[in-house]
Structure 1
Amino acid sequence: MKAVLDILQELQGLFTLYGQDHYEEACTQQSHAEQCATLAWQQGCDEETQIAAFLHDIGHFVAKYQHHPDFTAFGLAAHASLGACYLKELGFSCKVVALVQGHVLAKRYLLSVDKQYRYRLSKASRETAIQQGGTLSETEILQFESSPWCNEMILLRRFDDHGKDPALQSFKSEYWFSVVAQHLAHRR
């Protein structure tokens, strides 16, 4: 198992390399991560949800670092799965991993149950929704709703949708990396 300092340096390195990318959105990926986590904090979410909000798109960074062949101007459609696997390997909690894994599924769920949701998505999110499989089947809806973290996944999705404003004030990455360090230290 990697040391906490090594994990932090690895994550910070990915943010340094790819945090200024936009993936067709108005703000950078780093700013988006900071905003999502800050929104989670403002809503009184627990630390694990805040961390998941900060790292929910880490799969894009990993994919770009690995030169993934399916990487596009919008990032990697399967970034949630890749990011969740990466965070699991680093020793993040089951809840952090599940929320990162589920944030795209939550978008697809909301598209399935709320016919107006599509119009609240950014252009890039509408485009990637198609690449990510679009709406869910009835069976998939029931499976999603049975998840113990269904509500947190939906919340994370809402933070993802709202955390794309270049003018939104948020806690900076240094703060969030300190929260990540505490989380990982408690898991050792």
Structure 2
Amino acid sequence: MNELPALTEAIVQDVVYAYCAAAKHEITVPNCGSVWGPEADIASMTKARLGHAFEIKVSRGDWLAELRQIRGDAQTAKWWRAQVLASAGERAKKTADMHAQGSNCCGLVPPNYFWMVTAPGIVKPDELPEYAGLMEIEPEMAYRAQTHGYTVRELYPAPRLHRVKLLDNQIMALARGVTLRYWQQRRNVA
């Protein structure tokens, strides 16, 4: 049996990508910052144009720092409370309606689902925000190189925050993210 590598954000991104590919998501992009505002460790879109944002935490300290932001007055916490948790559906519909009417607004539809993805035991059940689902990364029975020997397990499903589909400008942001990653990789190989 191969020795499993220590979990890093990059390894977790590979495992989440495999999860999204198996779920037949159309586009999955790491470190994508222009789809919902705050950068998502992974942004993904289903065939139905529903958005999934994945926040990765590989250490308890990293999670506790995030938790202080979520529970504190940090800008990110205010954004999630105001736009995602408190009024996700209302804001998403208003933004989509403005875009449909040809408005040049820069509003963004929040993700339909928000996930915390962690190593086992990082997030205690009572610490999980009510708007988030929880996935844990664990060793898989059959070692597969593309996932570094790990798999993902859903502990708590992410609640659907609203029904509005991603806007065209958000899909283009995902496409730009894919393009950027491709050309960065190509430059690193050359």
Structure having the higher strand fraction is: 2
Larger fraction in helix: 1
Higher RCO (CA < 8 A, seq sep 6+): 1
TM above 0.5, yes or no, is no
